């Protein structure tokens, strides 16, 4: 699920961290993303990629149900929509709105 926010007084990184997401560095691909665990283990977890622009940033959110497994084809157990992902998007929006005083 993709959505966007204006940039005001915070960086995209600061805002997503205020939503209880931890930074995650993928050494293989050299990408930084953010995760929020739903249990004591690494999975399931919400996973966010951010793209920051001059006056707004995009959030690309999905739910990782389990670790990706790769064989002859890529298998990823991610949910990109549905009630759980929609509720998390609403939670993120509420936290950021409160920080912005909306």
The token pair that represents 29 in the structure block: 């691909």
Q: Where are the chain's structural domains?
A: 2-100
Q: How far apart are CA 66 and CA 15, in angstroms?
A: 26
pTM recorded for the entire structure: 0.87
pLDDT value at 19 more than 60: yes
Say what percent of the chain tops pLDDT 70: 90
Q: In the numeric block, which tokens belong to residue 23?
A: 């930074």
Q: Which pLDDT does position 83 carry in this prediction? A: 96
pLDDT at 71: 54
Confidence of residue 76 (pLDDT cuts 50, 70, 90): low
Q: What's the pLDDT band for 69 if we cut at 50, 70, 90?
A: low
């Amino acid at each position: 699920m993709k959505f966007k926010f204006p940039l005001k007084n915070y960086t995209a990184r600061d805002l997503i961290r205020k939503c209880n997401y931890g930074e995650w560095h993928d050494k293989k691909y050299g990408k930084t993303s953010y995760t929020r665990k739903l249990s004591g283990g690494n999975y399931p977890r919400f996973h966010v990629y951010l793209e920051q622009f001059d006056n707004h940033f995009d959030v690309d959110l999905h739910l990782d149900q389990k670790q990706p497994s790769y064989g002859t084809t890529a298998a990823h157990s991610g949910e990109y929509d549905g009630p759980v992902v929609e509720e998390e998007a609403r939670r993120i929006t509420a936290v950021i709105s409160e920080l912005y005083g909306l």
